[in-house]
Amino acid sequence: MTKPLGTGLITTALKKGQIDPSHLNAAIRQMTTTNRLAAETVSRFPVRAMTDVTGFGLAGHATEVARASNLTVAIDHSKLPVLDGALDASASGYCAGGLHSNRDFFGPEVSWSAPVSNDYQNLIFDPQTSGGLLVFTPEKIYEDLIIALSDAGVSAIEIGATEPRAETALRIF
């Protein structure tokens, strides 16, 4: 994953006049940074699937890839990159309507195999503006891809893996 999550939570807090300016500025920088460098770097690797994380949130986009691939996507919530202030916005109840729609629509495809706080659950369903790329690549090369992205000036982190298809398309642990 190439960008932190939380733009929807932060911009909703902004609409309520309840956001730290430094958190807003970081979100704006992220939303105005394109995925061009990331996409160009990723294109040099054998990628199995890739999607940008936007309005359907991480849950929606990961679920769509899982359904199309007949796999389950397993994500470690503790590894998720998070914009500063996003979890605080969630804790204060600043959740966009799209977050609730995403939870209603994609929620039945998500299983929680570890205790995941409500704020992290909100983050996973949070609609993103100009979100990062979620890249699916063979395990044997993901470290090389992360290094190449870093060398190109793109922050990236491994957040999970695919598994044989289970009862749900997305498993959060």
DSSP 51-76: EE--TTHHHHHHHHHHHHHTEEEEE-
Grade residue 86 by pLDDT with cuts at 50, 70 and 90: very high
What was the pLDDT predicted at 114? 82
How much is the average pLDDT of 8-15? Answer: 98
What was the pLDDT predicted at 88? 98
The answer to whether residue 31 scores a pLDDT higher than 90 is: yes
Strand 170-172, strand 133-136: pairing: unpaired
What was the pLDDT predicted at 64? 98
The H or E element spanning position 31 is helix 21-31
What was the pLDDT predicted at 173? 97
Q: What pTM was estimated for this model as a whole?
A: 0.95
**Which of 106, 117, 125 shows the shortest CA–CA distance to 78?**
117
